Amino acid sequence: MLMGLFPVTGCSDVTVKDNNLLGYQAVSEKEYDAALQFFDAAEKEHENLQEAYRGRGIAYMGKADYKNAVSSLKASLSESDGRIGELEFDTAFYLAVAEFRNGDPSASKETCTSIINLRRDDPDAFFLRGKAELALEETDMAVRDFNSAVSLKKDDPDLYIDIYECLLNAGASDEAGTFLKSAMELTKINDFQKGKLSYFMGEYDEAKDRLEAARGDGSDPELILWLGKTYEALGDKSYAASLYKTYLEDNQGNVEIYNQLGLCEMDTGNYAEALESFETGLKQGDSEIMQSLLFNQIVAYEYLSDFKKAAVLMESYLKSYPDDEAAEREYKFLKTR
């Protein structure tokens, strides 16, 4: 969600020459290596460096190389002439996302705070700062920021749902329930949103009916994802898998659906198919669920009894996510196999 908040083409008042323009076009097509080559050329030819470094940072995010993304985005901000406009806010937000995904919620929080200090009406900055605070186990502060975010987007049920998920995943179920209740009280809410809320309430038959009513031509990946999850919750994993597969036949590239399909395949014992789904998802590049995909890939190799491959991947995984205690325990087990 966060990566989609700003366009990758920059602001209309910034002139980009050919290499930068070609670089951003390559980013939009997920051709990240090609994009990096264009941005390197832009730097060598002394084109707009602020845009070149920004584009390089976004391309590195596409490759899930958040360390280099952070340094590139900081370089872009250092090229500013001192005036703070939409381009600088845009770059700063990308930086906050990259810092968060690089495992540095403290830096992400600081960057979000800088944005908020200059733009108090930015709900996305409040939301991301809340996520960073949750990662820092600052639940009370996170709840305050989430409340600030919803006060700026009072009629957006999706924001309430996103906050609910964040809090629930952080173990703050009571606080999560408060936001879910607030979402249920909204008057301007469509069938899709009602379906998601019903899913979280555990009312799966109601969720199914609402989501089916909103299904339309089946081209909305988020709707397919939640409809599939609902059928899974109702015990019909085969139909859920068919939903995911049918969507992916005509709409390749949705990372979350690849991941969910893989989980569904694992639950039904189709481990080779699960692995294929996880690895296809990983090939799509940047995603907020990259960590989940990597871990699920390792689990699939374990189920396929390829413990050597699983151990190698787990070693790499722990270099990126050293604080994952469950993964560390699993790695110790794999080294004995």
pLDDT digits (tens, 9 = 90+) for 126-153: 999 999 999 999 999 999 999 999 999 9
Same-domain status, 78 and 108: no
Same-domain status, 78 and 17: yes
Q: Is the pLDDT of residue 10 over 60?
A: no
Residue 336: which domain range? 263-337
Give the residue from 26, 52, 82 where a domain finishes.
Answer: 82
Same-domain status, 330 and 272: yes
Same-domain status, 48 and 119: no
Spatial separation of the C-alpha atoms in residues 287 and 172, rounded to whole Å: 24
| pLDDT, position 272 | 97
CA angle at residue 107 from 106 to 110, to 5 degrees?
Answer: 90
Q: Is the residue at 158 inside a domain?
A: yes
Which of 27-31, 120-124, 225-229, 281-285 has the weakest average pLDDT?
Answer: 281-285
Q: Is the residue at 117 inside a domain?
A: yes
Give tens-digit pLDDT for 162-199: 999 999 999 999 999 999 989 888 878 889 999 999 99
- Highest mean predicted confidence (pLDDT) among 188-192, 291-295, 316-320: 291-295
Q: Is the pLDDT of residue 79 over 90?
A: yes
Same-domain status, 337 and 305: yes
Same-domain status, 115 and 156: yes
Instruction: Give residue for tokens 């470094």.
Output: 53
Q: Is the residue at 284 inside a domain?
A: yes
| Global pTM value | 0.78
What is the pLDDT averaged over residues 262-273?
95
Q: Is the residue at 128 inside a domain?
A: yes
Same-domain status, 317 and 283: yes
Residue 285 — very low, low, confident or very high, per pLDDT cuts 50/70/90?
Answer: confident
Give tens-digit pLDDT for 202-248: 999 999 999 999 998 888 999 999 999 999 999 999 999 999 999 99
Spatial separation of the C-alpha atoms in residues 68 and 215, rounded to whole Å: 40
Q: Is the residue at 233 inside a domain?
A: no
Same-domain status, 269 and 311: yes
Q: Is the pLDDT of residue 113 over 70?
A: yes
150 alpha-carbon distance from chain centroid: 20
DSSP string, 186-198: -SS--HHHHHHHH
Q: Is the residue at 326 inside a domain?
A: yes
The SS3 assignment for 15 reads coil
Same-domain status, 75 and 135: no
Q: What is the dihedral of CA 315, 317, 322, 326, to 10 degrees?
A: -90
Residue 7 — very low, low, confident or very high, per pLDDT cuts 50/70/90?
Answer: very low
Task: Count Cβ neighbours within 10 Å for each residue of 96-114 and write b for 16 or more, e otherwise.
Answer: bbbbbbbbbbebbbebbeb
- Reading the block at residue 30, the tokens are 């997920």
Residue 337 — very low, low, confident or very high, per pLDDT cuts 50/70/90?
Answer: confident
Q: Is the pLDDT of residue 9 over 80?
A: no
Same-domain status, 63 and 112: no
Our count of domains for the chain comes to 3
Q: Is the residue at 328 inside a domain?
A: yes
Same-domain status, 2 and 78: yes
Specify the CATH number for the domain of residue 299: 1.25.40.10
Give the residue from 164, 189, 214 where a domain finishes.
Answer: 189
Q: Is the residue at 253 inside a domain?
A: no
Same-domain status, 116 and 170: yes
